[in-house]
Amino acid sequence: MQVAIAKPTYYLHNSRNCVSSIAAPATTRRRSLQPRFSIHFSDQTQTGRRSGGYQPALWDFDSIQSLHNQYKEEVHRTRAQGLIDQVKMLLVEEMDHVGRLELIDELHMLGISCHFEKEIIQILNSIYLNYETDQRDLYSTSLGFRLLRQYGFSVSQEVFDCFKNDEGSGFMPSLAQDIKGLLQLYEASFLLTHGENTLELAREFAIKFLQKKLDDDDDDDYLVSSIWHALEFPSHWRVQMPNARSCIDACKRRPDMNPIVVELAKLDINIVQAQFQDELKETSRWWESTCLVQKLPFVRDRIVECYLWTTGVIQRREHGYERIMLTKINALVTTIDDVFDIYGTVEELHQFTNAIQSWDDIESMKQLPSYMQLCYLALYNFVNEMGYATLVEKGFNSIPYLRKTWVDLVEAYLIEAKWYYSGHKPTLEEYMNNAWISIGGVPILSHIFFRLTDSIEKEGVESMHKYHDIIRASCTILRLADDMGTSLDEVERGDVPKSIQCYMNKKNASEEEAREHVRSVMAEAWKTMNGEMMRAAADDDSPLIFSKYFVEAVANLARMAQFIYQDGSDGFGMQHSKVNKLLRGLLFDRYA
């Protein structure tokens, strides 16, 4: 039996309480770029095709297109510039080192450090000169250590030796009282690389006493809520813009907070929101024009969530084109992933993989069912468009490399599909060897690489496409964070065992033990990432393989995954309420 799937008409869900600043009438119909031909989908019960069980999009095309934002007006930029100048004065004013470090940290958390890069580097430079010899307390040593490492200065973990006990096996018990110091020690410990045992001990020690403080003390003061916030997510793992709004809220509660800084942060987030809305509109027009949702109704219609990802991954204001590009990649990755995980039959999946491998072979494309021809051509056109832009701007033909990453991805998808249909239960190692690719980070990072590298050199291109350790570390975190949030639903729907299930099968472990293990693998991957980030930022003579902005995006991809799948729930496919609230705050609701 053949059934034509009716094109769903999406309304703006809960338009009143959900997306307050999108004011589209609830009766607005999804404007249709009408299908010119109709694809017939086979009946699900007959073919055994699975269902994703994903809800429709929360935001429809018309309401996104009708967004209007007053913060695009020049008057706001002028006002912001005035505030930026005042904060610059603050930074160079008579202030002690600690005060300056605190201000730098705040500017970063509030998402406005980009306006002060030059000043920040100058200040850190002068602090760095005497950092390893100056006598300091735990608080300022830890804060300085973290900020210096974050900005690429090389500081040794040995600066913490003076806080250790006589045997050197742990930290001095007297420090247990210094809660502010411990909080910074905890934050600093997340900058560790492999083998940095002091930082490992530091984290354990700090967590023990911070936790105790929370258990003993139910005051809701700023310090206690900062501890909660930090234990939930250390600042080194936090993406900037998606977190900025809640940081402004928190800072407003601080008695000693400088009001000019807060005012700038509030204004700036509204200005950025106007820019983000324009970028979102553009990607939404592209998504609508592909007609993928109408033609392949089983795929996740998540263009807004795809865009949200990019605000965390590509954080520079000027990289709007890159955010738009990355949103499209996210949408293509999720679409093709849904074809493999949900809809396609094994035979179709072989054909599709074959078509991508052959790349521009019209004959193998002709063999595909119509719905796959659409995916194929959407991807093919996109990659060519990106390749063309890089060729024009940088004189480098990136297409063979981009294509390799997409081939690697679909081959990894196919392996999972074969495991699923044959009932194969991989070991965790076997699973991970494939799964760090099957999460989709490899094409994402390859496309970003060509955009965020100014002069493209052979060494960089090869390191990227041999999947340098930092690439693999980022993809590993992306995969594991995703498994933490999505694998229960996936296995229930019908999928290969994911990392958690592989560990449980092998070790006869409980789900919680498996999650604990997965968290520890993520922590190891962060050590690799930190080491490589420090190398990339180091101001020495060794040639840089990767640009600073690219490395920043590589780390942010991992951060964003931890953010979206926080608390082990799916903030992307299932639009989990915590992420959804944040999405509205960042993209739709003005900060009043």
Binds ligand 0FV (CB under 6 A): choice among 309, 401, 550, 563:
309
The residues that bridge with 3 in the sheet, in sequence order, are: 41
Is 247 a binder of Mn ion (CB under 5 A)?
Answer: yes
Cβ-based nearer residue to ligand 0FV, 491 or 537: 491
- Contact assessment for residue 88 and residue 116, using Cβ atoms and an 8 Å cutoff: yes
Binding part of the chain for ligand 0FV, among 13-21, 254-262, 425-433, 434-442 by CB under 6 A, reads 434-442
Q: Reduce the DSSP state of residue 419 to 3 states and report it.
A: helix
Closest by CA position to 293, among listed 490, 31, 491: 31
Cβ-based nearer residue to ligand 0FV, 489 or 589: 489
Binding part of the chain for ligand 0FV, among 165-173, 376-384, 396-404, 432-440 by CB under 6 A, reads 432-440
Cα 566-572-573 angle, rounded to 5 deg: 125
State the nearest-atom distance from the C-beta of 569 to ligand 0FV, in Å.
Answer: 12
Helix, strand, coil percentages (3-state) for the chain, rounded to 5, are 70, 0, 30
Helices (H), 31-137: 44-47, 61-65, 74-92, 97-109, 117-131
DSSP type of residue 115: G
Cβ-based nearer residue to Mn ion, 22 or 107: 107
Q: CA torsion 549→551→557→559, rounded to 10°?
A: -100
Is 562 a binder of ligand 0FV (CB under 6 A)?
Answer: no
Chain position carrying tokens 């393989």: 545
Helices (H), 439-547: 441-452, 458-465, 469-493, 499-507, 511-537
The residues that bridge with 171 in the sheet, in sequence order, are: 164
Residue 155 neighbours by CB distance under 10 Å: 19
83 to 112: interface string for Mn ion, x by CB under 5 A? --------------------------x---
567 to 586: interface string for ligand 0FV, x by CB under 6 A? -----xx-------------
Is 301 a binder of ligand 0FV (CB under 6 A)?
Answer: no
Question: Can you tell me the distance from the alpha carbon of 552 to that of 533, in angstroms, rounded to the nearest whole number?
Answer: 8
State the nearest-atom distance from the C-beta of 485 to ligand 0FV, in Å.
Answer: 7
State the nearest-atom distance from the C-beta of 573 to Mn ion, in Å.
Answer: 8
Question: Can you tell me the distance from the alpha carbon of 369 to that of 351, in angstroms, rounded to the nearest whole number?
Answer: 9
311 to 340: interface string for ligand 0FV, x by CB under 6 A? -------------------x--xx--x---
Is 341 a binder of Mn ion (CB under 5 A)?
Answer: yes
Cβ-based nearer residue to Mn ion, 266 or 451: 266
β pairing state of 2-4 and 40-42: antiparallel
Cβ-based nearer residue to ligand 0FV, 110 or 313: 313
Closest by CA position to 554, among listed 236, 194, 313: 313
Binds ligand 0FV (CB under 6 A): choice among 486, 501, 562, 575:
486
- Contact assessment for residue 580 and residue 17, using Cβ atoms and an 8 Å cutoff: no
Cβ-based nearer residue to ligand 0FV, 196 or 337: 337
CB under 5 to 8 A by kind: which of ligand 0FV, Mn ion, none does 439 bind?
ligand 0FV
The separation between the first and the last C-alpha atoms of the chain, rounded to the nearest angstrom, is: 55
State the nearest-atom distance from the C-beta of 259 to ligand 0FV, in Å.
Answer: 38
State the nearest-atom distance from the C-beta of 494 to ligand 0FV, in Å.
Answer: 12
State the nearest-atom distance from the C-beta of 579 to ligand 0FV, in Å.
Answer: 11
DSSP type of residue 4: E
CB under 5 to 8 A by kind: which of Mn ion, ligand 0FV, none does 247 bind?
Mn ion
Chain position carrying tokens 């509204």: 270
Is 113 a binder of Mn ion (CB under 5 A)?
Answer: no
CB under 5 to 8 A by kind: which of ligand 0FV, Mn ion, none does 572 bind?
ligand 0FV
Question: Can you tell me the distance from the alpha carbon of 376 to that of 353, in angstroms, rounded to the nearest whole number?
Answer: 10
State the nearest-atom distance from the C-beta of 535 to ligand 0FV, in Å.
Answer: 25
Closest by CA position to 482, among listed 414, 569, 554, 552: 569
Backbone angles phi, psi at 173, to 5 degrees: -60, -30
CB under 5 to 8 A by kind: which of ligand 0FV, Mn ion, none does 109 bind?
Mn ion
State the nearest-atom distance from the C-beta of 43 to ligand 0FV, in Å.
Answer: 24
Count interface residues toward Mn ion (CB under 5 A).
Answer: 8
CB under 5 to 8 A by kind: which of Mn ion, ligand 0FV, none does 288 bind?
none
Q: What is the maximal distance between C-alpha atoms in the chain?
A: 79
Token pair belonging to 525 = 């991957």
Chain position carrying tokens 């998402």: 111
Amino acid at 253: R
Closest by CA position to 110, among listed 331, 329, 293, 268: 268
436 to 475: interface string for ligand 0FV, x by CB under 6 A? --xxx---x-------------------------------
CB under 5 to 8 A by kind: which of Mn ion, ligand 0FV, none does 330 bind?
ligand 0FV
469 to 488: interface string for Mn ion, x by CB under 5 A? -------------x---x--
Cα 132-149-130 angle, rounded to 5 deg: 20
State the nearest-atom distance from the C-beta of 495 to ligand 0FV, in Å.
Answer: 7
Residues 269-308 that bind Mn ion (CB under 5 A): none
- Binding site residues, Mn ion, CB under 5 A: 109, 238, 243, 247, 337, 341, 482, 486
- Binding site residues, ligand 0FV, CB under 6 A: 309, 330, 333-334, 337, 341, 438-440, 444, 482, 486, 572-573
